[in-house]
Every structure is written in C-alpha cells, then in structure tokens.
Amino acid sequence: MNNLNVVILAAGKGTRMYSDKPKVLHALAGKTMVRHVVDCAKLLHPGKTIVVYGHGGEAVPQALSSSDISFVLQEPQLGTGHAVQQAMPLLADEGYTLVLYGDVPLIQYATLHQMQQTGSGLTLLTVNMDNPAGYGRIVRNESGDVISIVEEKDATPEIREIREVNTGILLAPTKLLRTWLTGLQTNNAQGEYYLTDIVGMAVDAGVAVHTVQPAFEWEIQGINSKSQLAVLERTWQRVQANRLLAFGVTLMDTERLDVRGELACGRDVEIDVGCIFEGKVTLGNKVQIGAYCIIRNATIAEGTQIAPYSHIDESVVGADCRIGPYARLRPGAKLHNEVHVGNFVEIKNSEIGFNSKANHLSYIGDASIGARVNVGAGTITCNYDGANKYRTIIEDDVFIGSDTQLVAPVTIAKGSTIGAGSTITRNTPPDELTLSRSKQLTISGWSRPVKNKPVSS
C-alpha cells in the first residue's frame, strides 16, 4: 500500500503505573514500550511516523529522538479521537493512516500487514475475548457487518455481552479520517472525543468496514499497570523461548531465560538456566552457555563454551574458546580462536590472539596480545596513569609469570619470558627471560610477635 502514515498514541497518563515516568517509557524486554511500537511501524516503511505525546512533557520525544519520527503535543488530553486530530495537520490527504497505541507494545508486523491487505475502506483490528471487560465492543448487524463500536461505559447490558472487542488499532483512508474526526462529539459517558465513533460515521457514509484478527492475543495486550507489564514480559519471554526451541536450540529451562533484544543461534546451541541476553547477540553452532551468564551485544563463534556466571559485553569471541566461570569481557574485547579466559579475569578493549590463555585473576586492558601467549595468574596491565590510557603489546609466544604488572606503554617482544612477581616498565628483548624482583633473604633468629594474654588471677 502506498502513502501509509502511522500515528502512535502515547499521550495517556498511566496513572496506575504509579511512576513519575510516562507509561510508554516503561520497558518490556529491555526496550521501552513505545520503542517496540516505533520499531514495528518502521517495518511497514511508512511515509511519516507521528508520535502523539502529552503526559510527562518532553520525556517521550527525548527518549525516542530520531529524525524519522515527528512528534505532536496533545495538551490537554481529551480522548483518542482528539489525540489523532492533533496529528492530522502533518498528514496529506492521499493514502492511509494507521493508528497504533504506545502502550500496546507487542503488535507484530504480520498482523499490520494483513490489515493492509483488506482493500479500501476502514479496517479495525479486533479480537474475541473470554473476558471483554473494559474494552469497546464491536457491534454487528444481522448480516455480520460492523455497524459501530460502543465503549463499555456507554454499553447496554446486551452490548456488554459481546465478546468481540476493539483493540484500538485501525487503518483508515486519511482524507475520510480527517472529515470524520472533525465531526466527533463528546456526548458520551466519559465526555471524550472517541476515535471509535468514526466507525458509525464510516457506516453512514457507505464506506466498507473490515475487521482483521491478530495472530496472537498477546499482540494487542495493552499495559495499564506494573502487574500487566510483568505478565506480558513473561508471555513475551515464553514466545522467544519457543522460537529458539523451534530452531533447535536446547534450553535447560524455558522459564529461566531472558532475551532483551535479538538472539540469533546456530545449530546445536545449548543454554543453561538464568542467562540474560541483551541487545544483539549471535551464537555460532555448538556454542554452550553456562548458567547465569549475562551477554550483551556480542558475537560468539562456533564451538565456544562460556562457563557459568560470565559477563560478556560488546565483545567478539572466536571459535572453540573456553571462557569462565566468572569471566568478564568488557567492551572492545576481541578474542581469536581457541583462547582460554578463566575465573576473575577482566578483559577490556584488548585483542587476544589464537590459543592464548589468561586463566586466573587478571586485568587485561588496552592490550594487544599475540598467539600462544600464556598470561600467568594475577597479571595486571597498568594501563592508566590517572589521566591517560596506554597500550600494552605482548607479541607471540610470550610467557608472563604470575603476579606481574606490565606498566604501559610497554612491549613484550616475541618469545619473551617474564619472571613471576615482576614489575615491567621497559620493553623486553625477544626470546629472553626478563624479571624485576628484589632478592630473597632470610633473617635468622627472627621471632613472630605474640598477642599479650591477660594475666589470669
């Protein structure tokens, strides 16, 4: 469909969230509700996306700030029809307007696309609910044609029996929508301009009214409270877990996985309980993730094992690596294949070459490490002088003894060995043993102090 514009209603107060933040800025699966809607709308390639905001001042435009979104302020908020009215000056008559809700975060592209396939006229997204309380009811005539939407507060007991409800999401020809909106009245139970009143107007004008149902009920679930948000979060996590299972991923427990972004997995990936994936994460074939790992914006290549309680952030991990338990890869960690990183090792903004190992208690920051390097327990790159950061370069086949400090900038040449307990401040020659250590001495006859015991009477 050409000339599609999207209007996202996000001006509502969200009183029942009991929060200072506008409702649509609360997050579901790590992303604000309104951002979910904006991202979904983007898939339709609309000409314009307009967010109607109100409660919470500039917080919504600030949170979304993007050149391809227009914002209009609705102040005061006089109902859904009034909200759409505010966007109309930005829209040309040609084409269609899709109305979405900022507090209905999980609407899916496939459902909206289906709405676009119904042909000309007004298209409503409706759903049959066992418990329709609170929703506007879809009223049809004997032939099954939609004749109006009646809000619950305005409904007779007979109409309240209707199970088909208005999700609020609709698609209308922009020119007609503009005309209908100017005709809205507030003579209803809530004294508001109801967007839903355009349905009766369409019927009176002989415009076809179509209905489409979403593929899943969770798509149209609106959020009014923290409790509804928590329920929808779990529903969404279950949906994502099932998608992973359908692709052949092994999940030790589908109820103990949180995907807050996009997780792409190869074949035979295994994920133990309690893991959190944030942003964009890619796991290659046969990757194993141990329990309670937090992995954010990372790529992990084929055959790598991440042992429990490891944190990986903005990092790239090669194939057949062994990471953790308790490893921490911070932004800019780039590990080549077959690298081993053990417990309590922190790596930041550093490249680690093929088959190199740092297995215990180390800080590696701003370093370039070659292939087959062994970094001994307790090694620290001293990369920061309080004002500036410097790099440490460790060439291929170096062996760093335990408890070594490498004071950057410094280069440890190929094949060097550094004796344990050294503080290295100057570059080392290749293939030699370098160490800096005070001599060991023994003071004979020295006795250890003893505690003064109280004298017993």
Tell me which residues touch ligand UD1 (CB under 6 A). Answer: 9-12, 52, 74, 77-80, 82-83, 101-103, 135-136, 149, 151, 165-168, 194-196, 222
- How far apart (Å, rounded) are the C-alpha atoms in residues 341 and 357? 6
Q: Which is nearer to ligand UD1, 198 or 371 (CB)?
A: 198
Nearest approach, Cβ of residue 78 and ligand UD1 (Å): 6
Among 18, 55, 15, 16, smallest CA distance to 34 is for 55
- How far apart (Å, rounded) are the C-alpha atoms in residues 174 and 87? 11
Q: Which is nearer to ligand UD1, 189 or 433 (CB)?
A: 189
Q: Which is nearer to ligand UD1, 162 or 333 (CB)?
A: 162
Q: Which is nearer to ligand UD1, 136 or 365 (CB)?
A: 136
* Cα–Cα–Cα angle for 241, 247, 251, rounded to 5 degrees: 45
Other beta carbons within 10 angstroms of residue 224's beta carbon come to 15
Nearest approach, Cβ of residue 135 and ligand UD1 (Å): 4
Nearest approach, Cβ of residue 22 and ligand UD1 (Å): 9
113 part of the active site: no
Nearest approach, Cβ of residue 93 and ligand UD1 (Å): 23
Nearest approach, Cβ of residue 215 and ligand UD1 (Å): 18
Q: Which is nearer to ligand UD1, 84 or 408 (CB)?
A: 84
Instruction: Name 279's bridge partners.
Output: 261
Beta-carbon contacts of 46 under 8 Å, excluding residues fewer than 6 positions away, are 4, 5, 6, 98
Q: Which is nearer to ligand UD1, 100 or 400 (CB)?
A: 100
Inter-residue contact 290 to 272 (CB < 8 Å): yes
Nearest approach, Cβ of residue 293 and ligand UD1 (Å): 36
Nearest approach, Cβ of residue 404 and ligand UD1 (Å): 59
Q: Which is nearer to ligand UD1, 71 or 194 (CB)?
A: 194
Residue in 45, 113, 340, 360 annotated catalytic: 360
Nearest approach, Cβ of residue 357 and ligand UD1 (Å): 54
Q: Which is nearer to ligand UD1, 72 or 176 (CB)?
A: 72
The tokens describing 418, both together, are 């550094």
Active-site residues, by number, are 360
